[in-house]
Structure 1
């Protein structure tokens, strides 16, 4: 397929490439992406067979509250079905801005640990909807990382969180959170507000659309303490989960290291891990992930996400893809 038309923020049209001679399938003549539908409107149109699939940057494209009903009504991963769930190379996390006084310096490591103990990961996972993913306290997914279990995954531990908070050199009464102005972002923010209040911290939440939130978070000097991050990778390699997010070469804008976390020892271990191959490489990155979370956490990981795809009754040949959600070239229309 090739891009035949693009109207910014409105429409993208893919058409079959007449010059392609490879063996990849191409069952439909064209694919039309329409931009701008709300999650609710897109879900309704899919159920009515007026469109074939809803997608959204960083989210499934339908309301998180709808997934339990869709699973019950349409089943999960049925041959020729409409609702599919599969693994996804994406992690949700809460980045700590180390340029801010709340997280700057070794005296504030205790605060970072306090937050990791204070947050209720099961409740935060619910914000991503039914079958949304697997809660975690590490950035690298279990298949690539190490199941160290450093912080509680079964719920908040405010008693331990308060003990760590008491050790912090600076105890900020308020932290500023940048979150997303959708249903999921609001739910995460409200859960975090309640969790942090239990240890004596108020949360000042600023809501932005997905792109704006990350553009602001990537601008050095932006006045936030915490940001809800989502990180997707293009291939199953543990370095791709850590290396960009810990890039020590910080710029004025366009940073992916939203934590502004720079530690020479961590950078040296990344360089050393990149010299390795195979299982030794995987273990080196997995150990770095676990050691960071235990000794000096740059963030609070929340959940490793799944792909949940709801398609129209006339769409067939659905093939799950862990990076892109589904294989566009493989889909077909049922006759």
Structure 2
């Protein structure tokens, strides 16, 4: 990294090509600071600036943001509208929703319970936030019975993805069989597995997997429990002997991402860090990136051909139509091996009281609290 105070430039020289590098630089985590900046967190704070400062922080209850009198507004970061923002941490989605209805809160981003979606629409302002995400069930191709392609195909046939949107989100979701969400230019809709329980049963039987014991892993979060409960029932319906194992939120990913766990199948989701196919295929499905602990490739999927193509595509600096077509081919080849059973691109409900206005939504980071105002 070479800096020039005179030219006010920063030059970064890469050791090897990285096609998503400019996209990574746009992340809020990529803010450059002087080399002598301390990495220590002093008294619970880190060097930062913005229109607000945090006061009164309680990790179990919430925090308050008030205006930062030292902040100088810019064209891109304005002063902000509220003088004060109180944030309450409410663990129960029903309670959070009810607070807005009762006038005790102006906004909630809690997942509205599916059976309350219709009534909530008439009691406040419901904003549906479209983000790039995919919810899926992974199948560990190293572990029986999912080391057999027919079983992985059977699982995909066993899911009624339309029904799942209603059960889990109250209909606020789009059924999918893709890894990539439809917001990507390289997205090509896949429709390989129509809902067919009879066919799924036949595949399980012909794979010699009837009665195979399966543990389904999921997080202790309402939507994850609901989805995994349905998934477990469908595995049993097609001839497997499945049971559900619910883990605490804090330890779920590290547990299923540890090779020693030998987790067979389970729930997962991915929300883009930045809009580039590498954020999906390289992180989640490139066999070269598999690690024994803290592994993101929960299916432990590795294929020499697709691994090599992902590595090659890392060098592509621009997502041209030709490059996007190559990514679409990678996705199709991976899903032909069915290491995942993708089922939803979720739409996030943001619930505001009727007195709130100035609502601005950012694709990656959601609602801009600093812009909110009263009507």
TM-score band, normalised by the shorter chain? 0.7 to 0.9
TM-superposition CA deviations, 1:262-299 (whole Å, max 9, x none): 222221111122223222232222221122112x1221
**1:101-136: CA deviation from partner (whole Å, max 9, x where unpaired):** 3223xxx11111111111121122223323421101
Aligned twin of 2:113: 63
Residue 325 of structure 2 corresponds to which residue in structure 1? 283
Paired position in structure 1 for 2:370: 329
Question: CA, structure 1 residues 14+246, in 2 after alignment: closer, same or farther (shift >3 Å)?
Answer: farther
State whether structure 2 residue 145 is matched by structure 1 residue 102.
Answer: yes
SS in structure 1 of the partner of residue 261 of structure 2: coil
Equivalents in 1 of 2:212, 2:61: separation in Å?
A: 44
Residue 229 of structure 1 is matched in structure 2 by: 268
**Which residue number in structure 2 is paired with residue 116 of structure 1?**
156
Query: CA–CA distance in 1 between the matches of 2:137 and 2:60?
Result: 28
TM-score (norm 1): 0.86
Deviation at 1:325, TM superposition (A): 2.5
Alpha-carbon offset, residue 87 of structure 1? 1.4
Partner of 1:147: 189
In structure 2, distance between residues paired with 1:131 and 1:236: 25
Show the counterpart of 1:168: 207
| Helix, strand or coil at the partner of 2:347 | strand
2:277 and 2:103 map into 1 onto residues whose CA distance is 39
Alignment of 1:107-256 (within 5 A): 108-144=148-184, 145-152=187-194, 156-168=195-207, 170=209, 173-247=212-286, 248-256=288-296
Q: How far apart are the structure 2 equivalents of 1:273 and 1:168? A: 35
For 1:86-106, what per-residue CA distance to the aligned partner results, in whole angstroms no more than 9, with x for missing partners?
Answer: 3111111001123323223xx
Number of matched pairs: 316
Structure number with the bigger relative contact order (C-alpha 8 A, sep ≥ 6) is 1
Where does residue 78 of structure 1 map in the other structure?
Answer: none
**For residues 257 and 33 of structure 1, what CA distance do their matches in structure 2 show?**
34
1:239 and 1:285 in contact (8 A); partners too: no
CA distance in 1, matches of 2:245, 2:265: 10
Q: Matches of 1:323 and 1:204 in 2, distance apart?
A: 35
8 A contact 1:91–1:230 mirrored in 2: yes
Q: CA contact under 8 A between 2:132 and 2:183: conserved in structure 1?
A: no
Q: Which residue of 2 aligns with 1:52?
A: 106
What secondary structure sits across from 2:199 in the alignment?
helix
How far the C-alpha of 1:41 sits from its partner, in A, is 1.0
Equivalent position of 1:77 in the other structure: none
Structure 2's unaligned 5+ residue stretches are 1-49
Q: Flag the 1:243–1:329 CA change in 2: closer, same or farther, 3 A.
A: farther
The answer for the alignment partner of 1:12 in structure 2 is: 63
Structure 1: tracts of 5 or more residues without a match:
75-80
What is the CA-CA distance between 1:257 and the residue it aligns to?
1.3
Compared with structure 1, are the counterparts of its residues 290 and 9 closer, same or farther at alpha carbon in structure 2 (3 Å cutoff)?
A: farther
Match of 2:344 among 273, 282, 303: 303
Following superposition, the deviation at residue 217 of structure 1 comes to 1.6
Partners of 1:68 and 1:236 in 2: CA distance: 32
Instruction: Answer with 1 or 2: which has the greater Rg.
Output: 2
Q: 1:313 to 1:216 in 2, by over 3 A?
A: same
Moved more, 181-190 or 43-52: 181-190
Question: 2:165–2:171: 8 Å Cα contact kept in structure 1?
Answer: no
- Cα 1:16–1:242 shift into 2, 3 Å: farther
Query: TM (normalized to structure 2)?
Result: 0.77
Contact 1:84 1:309 in 2 (8 A): yes
Per-residue deviation, 1:171: 5.0
- For the 8 Å contact 2:62–2:87, the answer to whether it is kept is yes
Is the 1:93–1:301 Cα contact (8 Å) retained in structure 2? yes
1:258 alignment partner in structure 2: 298
